[in-house]
Chains A and B, each alone.
Chain A
Amino acid sequence: QSVLTQPPSVSGAPGQRVTISCTGSRSNIGAGYDVHWYQQLPGRAPTVLIHASTNRPSGVPDRFSGSKSGTSASLAISGLQAEDEADYYCQSYDSSLSGWVFGGGTKLTVL
């Protein structure tokens, strides 16, 4: 049971827009800690997609965007491409656990 809750899977057709939710609590997202999102391609290490809830590192396409409100956050991917098929993880810091926590991950399938 992960501290941050994500849907196990989402899917969409090429060109469509999908969102992935990440629900936390008052000790992590709700406490004001930033949410970060990672993409993990099959067999590869994760890479940061969104940091500090809404910021894209250089090189990340603007098709990816993040938002945060209350105890939840979301990752939106627009203009879906086949190469976006991967696992996506949210992450935040938890004051009760004094450490970082991850969501359970969401597998994105591009139909």
Chain B
Amino acid sequence: EVQLVESGGRLVQPEESLRLSCSASGFTFSDRGMNWVRQAPGKGLEWISYISGSSSTISYADSVKGRFTVSRDNAKNSVFLQMNSLRDDDTAVYYCARRWFGEPAGAFDLWGQGTMVIVSS
């Protein structure tokens, strides 16, 4: 089955760190750029990070640059998001999403179910 499954979300205190994982199955993972998108409670979607299939291209939204690091392990069909110095406004559902094949600015054609991160003291 073609799917993405996120894990790792939990309640953490401000300034703590957390690592999210996204496990892919059913497609050639190394061929696909992958993204992280988050959605704060009751709010809209916010793109936060992209990593190309070979990890040669990585980008971040300004809101997380310098605090979050994206990586991937193609042998394990997984993409990760290391989140440091977490703040209250990082509270959100975090989705991983696959970029459309062969289109640099392509749509995100496959999404996971999301994992919830709550940052609160």
Q: Which residues of A contact B (CB under 8 A)?
A: 2, 33-34, 36, 38, 40, 45-48, 51-52, 57, 89, 91-93, 97-105
Residue in B47, B106, B107 whose Cβ sees the most chain A Cβ within 10 Å: B107
Tell whether B27 is near chain A: CB-to-CB under 8 Å: no
A104→B106 CA distance, assembly (Å)? 19
The reply to whether the CB of B80 lies closer than 8 angstroms to some CB of chain A is: no
Verify if B85 is at the interface (C-beta below 8 Å from A). Answer: no
**Whole-angstrom CA separation of A94 from B111 in the bound complex:** 21
Expressed in whole angstroms, the minimum distance between the Cβ of B56 and any Cβ of chain A is: 15
Give the chain A neighbours of B100 by CB distance below 8 A.
51
Residues of B within 8 A of A (CB-CB), count:
23
In the complex, the answer to whether B105 meets A102 with C-beta atoms within 8 Å is no
B107 touches A99 (CB 8 A): no
Contact in complex: B111, A45 (CB < 8 Å)? yes
Interface residue ranges of B43-68 to A (CB < 8 Å): 44-47, 50, 59-62
Tell whether, in the assembled complex, residue B114 and residue A45 are in contact, meaning their CB atoms are under 8 Å apart: yes
Return B52 CB to nearest CB of chain A, in Å.
Answer: 13
User: Does B103 contact A52, Cβ atoms closer than 8 Å?
Assistant: yes
**For residue A57, which residues in chain B have a CB less than 8 angstroms away from its CB?**
109
**Which residues in A have their C-beta under 8 angstroms from that of B109?**
48, 51, 57
- Whether the pair A100, B103 counts as a contact (CB closer than 8 A) is no
Q: How far is it, in angstroms, between the C-alpha of A102 and the C-alpha of B37 when the chains are bound?
A: 10
Assess the B114–A99 pair: CB atoms within 8 A: no
Interface string of B88-115 (1 = CB under 8 A from A): 0000000100001001111111011110
For the complex, give the distance between the alpha carbons of A60 and B26 in Å.
21
**Contact of B105 with A45 in the complex, beta carbons under 8 Å:** no
Q: Does B21 contact A (CB under 8 A)?
A: no
B35 at the interface (CB under 8 A from A): yes
B106, A46: Cβ atoms closer than 8 Å: no
B residues less than 8 Å from A38 (CB atoms): 45, 108
Task: For the complex, give the distance between the alpha carbons of A97 and B46 in Å.
Answer: 13
Contacts of A48 in B (CB 8 A): 107-109
CA distance A30 to B1 in the complex (A): 38
A40–B114 Cα gap in the complex (Å)? 13
Residue from A46, A97, A103 having most chain B Cβ neighbours under 10 A: A46
